[in-house]
Each structure stands twice: as structure tokens, then as C-alpha cells.
Chain A
Amino acid sequence: MYKRMKLQGVVSIPPDQLGNPLKESVEIALRNKYEARVDKTLGEIVAVLGADQIGEGHILAGRGEVYYDVVFDAVAFKPEMQEVIEGEVVEIVKFGAFLSVGPFDGLLHVSQITNEYISYDEKNARLVSKDSSRYLAEGDRVRARIIAVSLNEKEPRSSKIGLTMRQTGLGKVEWLEAARKAQEAEVALVEKTSRSAGRDKKAQKAPETVTDSAGQALAEAKSAPADPEPAKASDSVEGIGEAE
């Protein structure tokens, strides 16, 4: 999550900049010192917006610089555990995919992409699932959850973020869209069939075109034609069973 925050810090202004306006040189010094710095509690400081309060300058013995206590505004990104993020696949490797997570890259391991077996397609730089030929390639938009965070303050580049997509509502944006459409279609079908079953009590045969689950719903609706609600309920239970 990106956060805007007020921070306190100390910057040193070298003597050759003492002729310039103080606010300007303090802000330059703040940017040089704090931008791209990684802190365990703050996350990575992405940008320094500007100095808010500049205190008295201090001159230390034997040093030519002037030190200022400054309160400043900054924007920081902190990857939080359990946070759901939407990002782009920046690289596909043998063992998974790297996603851009704010200023960091997070690893989505092959075992965390889908419930299916995933194989690595080296020629096309893709990760392909075994049964339902879904694939993940560079540039895909995905939604994932952060399940591991290890920030390294000294070496920001070696900070690690672990991700997963093996939960409902997570995955490639296209998969989510397809799942949503399928669900909407199913709901619409169930509503239609239960309504027609309630209205047409004398119907003897179920229409042949409906799917298995809808057909069953229809049969059950017919067995209790006065009340269509139980039919809907039983169908939704079966729908969950199928998804698993």
C-alpha cells in the first residue's frame, strides 16, 4: 500500500551550497538521502514531496557541513502481509513469475499460480497449466496476495516478496473475468428455469437443452412446484462442489 507520511530527519548541507536558497538545497539533500531507501517499518520511500519545517542549522566540530533537522512529506510503499495487489508480470522464469509490486518485484512461485500442475514453456516464455490450457506470460495483468515479506534495509534490491494466486478471486484478470461471466450466466439460467418451473406446473418433460446442473435444478423444482426456493439452494450447493 502506498502511504503519504510526515517524517523527521537530518540532512547535511555542504558549504558550497550555502549561497543557494535553504529550502531548495534542503529538499535536494532530502531526496538524495531518503528516496529509494528501504525501512522495515516504513517500507520503501518512493518520493520526497517537500520540506515542511526546517529547524536550526548545527555546525559540528571539525566538519564544514551544516546539519538541519527537517520535518518533510514523503510517499512510501509498504508491502503488507495478506495485502491483495494487482500487478503486471515482468518476467517468467522456470520456477515462477515475477510481478511488479509497487517499487518492488514479487515472486509468484509455480506452485502458487493455480491448483493445477503448471509447466514451463521455454520457447514462448510462458507458464502453461496442464488441464485447462491457461497460461501466464510477460505483460499479463494479475491479482495476487502477498504471503511473505522480507525487506532488506542495507540491500534494497535483495528484498523479497512472496505471492500467491491460489485463492478465490485471485488470478489473471482474464480468468477472473471469465469466472465472473460464467457465474452470472449460471445464476441467470437458474433463475429462468426455477421461474418457468414455478409457472408451468403441468410440464411433464424437462427441456433437453439445459445443462446437467440446471436440469437437476429443474427436476427438483418440479418435485416441489409450489416453492422454487429449495431448488435454487440445492443447485448453489452443487455449484460449489463442482468448483472444487
Chain B
Amino acid sequence: MKAEKYTRYERARIVGARALQIFMGAPVYIKTESIDPLEVALEEMRLGVIPITVKRDRRTSR
């Protein structure tokens, strides 16, 4: 139950939002050689440094 913090849909939404922010000039939190915003966002997600959380509807959250 507690193994995953986010569902795959939530992860997709977070990475997508973060990639767009990075693309539009937001500061990056990790050291990386990559210049592809999506790759950077995925790496940040892997390291868990993205300052974005999910507000869940109480009825549907597990």
C-alpha cells in the first residue's frame, strides 16, 4: 500500500508540469548534462526533489 507515493498518473502529471516549468526557464535542482527538459524532470522525479505535491480528493484517494 505504502510502497508508491504517487500513482503513475500523478507521476506523469508532476513530471509533465515540472518539464514545462524547466522549459520556460525555471531553475533546475540537480546537476545534469542533459538539455532536454523532460529528461531533467524525470531525473528530478527519480531523486524526489520536485517541490510539487498532489492534492487528492478524499473520497477517491486510497
Contact = CB atoms under 8 A, between A and B. Distances in A.
B17 interface: yes
Interface string B1-27: 000000000000100010011111111
A15 B27 CA distance: 8
B52 interface: yes
Interface in A1-36: 14-16, 18-19
Contact of A64 (B13, B21, B52): B21
A185 interface: no
Give the size range of B's interface with the partner.
10 to 19
A59 B52 CA distance: 9
A59 B17 contact: yes
Interface string A44-65: 0000000000000001011110
A16 B21 CA distance: 8
A67 to B, nearest CB: 12
Contact of B26 (A19, A61, A62, A63): A19
B24 to A, nearest CB: 4
Nearest to A14: B24
Contacts of B23: 64
B25 to A, nearest CB: 3
Given A59-B17, A64-B20, A15 B52 contact: no
A110 B24 CA distance: 56
B24 A16 contact: yes
Contacts of B13: 61
Interface string B22-60: 111111000000000000000000000000100000000
Contacts of B17: 59, 64
B16 to A, nearest CB: 9
A59 B18 CA distance: 10
Contacts of B52: 59
A18 B27 contact: yes
Nearest to B52: A59
Interface of A: 14-16, 18-19, 59, 61-64
10 contacts: A15-B21, A15-B22, A15-B24, A15-B26, A61-B13, A62-B20, A63-B20, A64-B17, A64-B20, A64-B26
Given A18-B26, A62-B20, 7 more contacts: A15-B20, A18-B27, A19-B26, A19-B27, A59-B17, A63-B20, A64-B21
What are the 3 A-B residue pairs with the smallest beta carbon separation, nearest first? Answer: A16-B25, A15-B26, A19-B27
